[in-house]
A and B are shown apart, each in its own frame.
Chain A
């Protein structure tokens, strides 16, 4: 399967985990990587170009930090412009129904500032990440796309604490280990997506993708 990765990060230069994730993805064959803020610094998205891109891929990954319980603004602009009437939904000039993106898999790869405990019904945010991203999921559903659970890194943004020297030695080691682990999962998952070696059924119904990862990998063998 062809994987299309959209990155939406307004401060890519200073990003701790998103940058290594994006760069790792760039090194994987069969994954097309698009840095939205780099392509459209004035937020003026080329609709035709992006629609053609979507058509050419099977899995769409939206990589971004969680901003105001949602995505950075360019991703909303992308949604508004690219998933347009007469393409992703609605009718064409002849009056036939169009659903150009039907059947494609789509999900978010998100980094969150708060720890995991905050993203629970009884936690500080009162909802988990998949719930927070519901407006996106509903839009994709409207276009007959298939949403997978988000791939999440909690407690991101702590490398700044490492740089400041505020974190203790033990903490630092722990954070770096988490990051390495996350990157490893990320690469493995992108490759599995590409090679169609992921249990898509289970990935659609899960709440968070990475926690289930080892059980999600399937060997398709000669398929």
Chain B
């Protein structure tokens, strides 16, 4: 019961605070943080378990990086290499050194200064990525640069964890072979912390191996992930998808992420980094959008929980003991980091709004600081007297970040001119057209659009269809297009056009209704089964509807007339006339259908229209023979001249 009670408290805090914060344009992160402050220090409903919960919730970061990886094709990652090494590397090293220098000036030992520098140089992946995604700024140059730096930082945590024990005050002689024992142990313990889920500090199971073997082993695991991602995942997921059990697919997705995190843990690499890598490997898989849709809610909840625990963990007693110096320290740290970031951004050619976004979004210290503080304490690098207030300072900088983002959004961004390149870059990230259903209709439409160089994202729920089409060089993503979350992750929010081509009549209508309601700016084209289905789909919000068999039947009818002796162009004209009349009938019966459905009146009206069609056709025949006798021309189709 205690578990459910605690869960209820966290959930109610989130449910109340987040929509309120969003309502006032503050963003969800600030909402979660405030919720945490309220249930933690203010009301005191939650207490000591927050720290433990935080380790658990940090798994949300792991999931987030998996999702980020899914969005990034390997080629894009390769293109980012200068940014990763240059911008990211310089940020980490530069900020570390400047903070360390300042600490030295305040009379700390160089070991303490360096440790603090490393810890505070890192930013919060969770807050920054969540905010950038929420605001839709991930595609901007500023957003991309920020992401590169965050990714570099995630990698940089590993050498930091390794260095930390070496900074312990009682440094043994570095030449002594024994010195490297805590080094590797450090990696194991630290990584376990970073994994969050298993914060027990399980030692890596190859501790006994020599260094080079460990290195090889790590490499082998990474290669295994890439190879398995390329070869094994698709058939396994196809097998699961064939079962048609949605929850098993979700279970498999979770299993994949947790499994990778664990294996990373065992070989002593950051689980966040490992799942990111796995995400990149799977980014061009057929199951990408389905995986995204399945992991997304877990990631969202865990990250939310993480933000709440940050808010709840703020030690108000400590804060009120010396509020000015602590808040001053937090603000000073942010200003310092922002200035360094700004200088770096300038050096790397960022300008205007992008430079501001980059400098302000990364100015806080991050969740890794909590981990590293814990680790620094256990390896006796830092005294608790430093760690306690500094943990609070880190939490405060995280609290202030959403405010800086607001400052950027409402004050700085409107004043700076956004760079023109932004537009061009966006295009390669998301398809402009989403096609749901890859049956007889969807295939033709998709092929037409693709041969005209439009970017098309295609969804189908049948793994066999996708596999067969893949053989013909045709890409589609697996997933049930009637699921709102899948449509979302397929990028419908950014699409201009949605083509609904599902076979199932009622599913098709349902999907169109959902899309029309949720994405009012997207134009919807839909395939209809028959005339009544046209009305249904139009009512559901489709902008343009065509009957799937109409044109083909018309063509066959025309050819039939030709084979019965009509001149081909006469048959063509008859077909055109039929089509025009049929469209007119569809238009005329629409109101009757909308008001009354299929009633006697509707049936009468339809019969009447069929009779007019007969008359029309007869008239055409008459015209050909009789009308010519009027006037001075033998044949009315004989024009003057």
The residues of A with any CB-CB pair to B shorter than 8 Å are: 44, 46, 80, 85-86, 89-91, 95, 135, 138-139, 142
Chain B residues near A80 (CB-CB < 8 A): 639
Q: Are A85 and B641 in contact (CB under 8 A)?
A: no
B52 to chain A, nearest CB (A): 64
Q: Given known contacts A85-B627, A91-B630, is B636 in contact with A142 (CB within 8 Å)?
A: no
Please state if A85 and B633 are interface contacts (CB–CB under 8 Å): yes
Task: Please measure, in the bound complex, the distance between the C-alpha atom of A59 and the C-alpha atom of B580, giving whole angstroms.
Answer: 29
User: In this assembly, does B576 line the interface, its C-beta being within 8 Å of a C-beta of chain A?
Assistant: yes
Let me know if A142 and B640 touch, CB within 8 A. yes
A95 to B: closest C-beta gap in Å:
7
Which of A90, A91, A135 is close to B641, meaning CB atoms less than 8 Å apart?
A135
Chain A residue with the shortest CB-CB distance to B576: A44
Whether A90 pairs with B639 at a CB distance below 8 angstroms is: no
Residues of B at the A interface (CB closer than 8 Å) are 576, 580, 627, 630-631, 633, 636, 639-641
Q: In the complex the two chains form, is B576's CB within 8 Å of A85's CB? A: no
Residues B630 and A142 in contact, CB atoms below 8 Å apart: no
| B580 CB contacts on chain A under 8 angstroms | 46
User: How long is the Cα–Cα vector from A191 to B471 in the complex, in angstroms?
Assistant: 61
- Find chain B residues with CB under 8 A from A46 CB: 580
Q: 5 other contacts beyond A135-B641, A139-B640, with CB at 8 A cut-off?
A: A46-B580, A80-B639, A89-B640, A91-B630, A142-B641
Which residues from B are CB-within-8-Å of A89?
Answer: 640
Q: How far is the CA of A131 from the CA of B580 in the complex (A)?
A: 38
Measured between C-beta atoms, what is the minimum distance from B142 to chain A in Å? 35
Contact B630 A139 (CB under 8 A): no
Q: A142 CA to B630 CA in the complex, in Å?
A: 18
State in angstroms the CA–CA spacing of A139 and B576 once bound together: 27
Shortest distance in angstroms between A84's beta carbon and chain B's nearest beta carbon?
A: 8
B234–chain A nearest beta-carbon distance, Å: 41
Shortest B584–chain A CB gap in Å is: 11
Beta-carbon nearest neighbor of A79 in chain B: B639
Residue of B576, B580, B627, B630 with most chain A CB atoms under a 10 A cut-off: B630
Interface of B is mostly: loop
**Least CB distance, B637 to chain A, in whole angstroms:** 9
Instruction: Tell me whether B631 and A90 are in contact (CB under 8 A).
Output: yes
Task: Please give the distance in Å from A80's CB to the nearest CB on chain B.
Answer: 7
Q: Is the CB of B641 within 8 A of A95?
A: no
4 interchain residue pairs of minimum CB distance: A85-B636, A90-B631, A91-B631, A142-B640
Taken together as a complex, chains A and B put the C-alpha atoms of A44 and B641 apart, in Å, by 23
Inter-subunit contact A95/B639 (CB<8 Å): no
Q: Which residues of B contact A86 (CB under 8 A)?
A: 627, 636
Task: Point out the residues of chain B lying under 8 angstroms from A85, CB to CB.
Answer: 627, 631, 633, 636
Name the CB-closest residue of A to B573: A44
A73 to chain B, nearest CB (A): 15
Question: Taking CB as reference atom, which chain B residue is nearest A42?
Answer: B576
- Closest residue of chain B to A83 (Cβ to Cβ) is B639
Verify B576–A138 contact, CB threshold 8 A: no
CB B582 to nearest CB in A, in angstroms, measures 14
Contacts of B636 in A (CB 8 A): 85-86, 90
Residues of A within 8 A of B640 (CB): 89, 139, 142
Contacts of B639 in A (CB 8 A): 80
Cα–Cα distance between A23 and B592 once the two chains are bound (Å): 40
- CB distance B630 to A138 under 8 Å? no
Determine the distance from Cα of A85 to Cα of B627 in the docked complex, in whole angstroms: 10
A189 to B551, CA, bound (A): 45
- Contact call B633/A139, Cβ cutoff below 8 A: no
Sampled A-B contacts (23; CB under 8 Å): A44-B576, A46-B580, A80-B639, A85-B627, A85-B631, A85-B633, A85-B636, A86-B627, A86-B636, A89-B640, A90-B630, A90-B631, A90-B633, A90-B636, A91-B630, A91-B631, A95-B630, A135-B641, A138-B641, A139-B640, A139-B641, A142-B640, A142-B641
Complex Cα distance, B627 from A95, in Å, reads 12
Shortest Cβ distance from A46 into B: residue:
B580
Chain A residues, CB < 8 A from B633: 85, 90
State A46–B580 Cα separation when bound (angstroms).
9
* Chain B residues positioned under 8 Å from A95 (CB to CB): 630
Alpha-carbon gap, A90 to B636, bound state (A): 9
- For A142, what are the chain B residues with a Cβ–Cβ distance below 8 Å? 640-641
**A135 to B630 Cα, complex, angstroms:** 25
How distant is the Cα of A115 from the Cα of B580 in the complex, in angstroms?
44
Query: Which of B580, B631, B641: most chain A Cβ within 10 A?
Result: B631
Closest chain A residue, CB of each to CB of B630: A91
Chain A residue at minimal CB-CB distance from B628? A85
The CB with the most chain B CB atoms within 10 A, among A46, A85, A138, A139, is that of A85
Shortest C-beta distance, B379 to chain A (Å), equals: 68
In the assembled complex, the CB of B566 is this many whole angstroms from the nearest CB of chain A, namely 18
* Bound complex: CA A86 to CA B626 (Å): 14
Shortest CB distance A160–B (Å): 22
* Chain A residue at smallest Cβ distance from B639: A80
B620 to chain A, nearest CB (A): 13
A90–B633 Cα distance when bound, in Å, is 9
* Minimum C-beta distance from A78 to chain B (A): 13
Q: Give chain A nearest CB distance to B314 CB in angstroms.
A: 61
CA distance A90 to B631 in the complex (A): 6
Residues on B with beta carbons closer than 8 Å to the beta carbon of A135: 641
- Nearest residue (CB) in B for A97 is B631
CB distance from B503 to the nearest CB of A (A): 28
Q: In the bound complex, what is the Cα–Cα distance between A194 and B610 (angstroms)?
A: 44
- A90–B634 alpha-carbon span in the complex (Å): 12
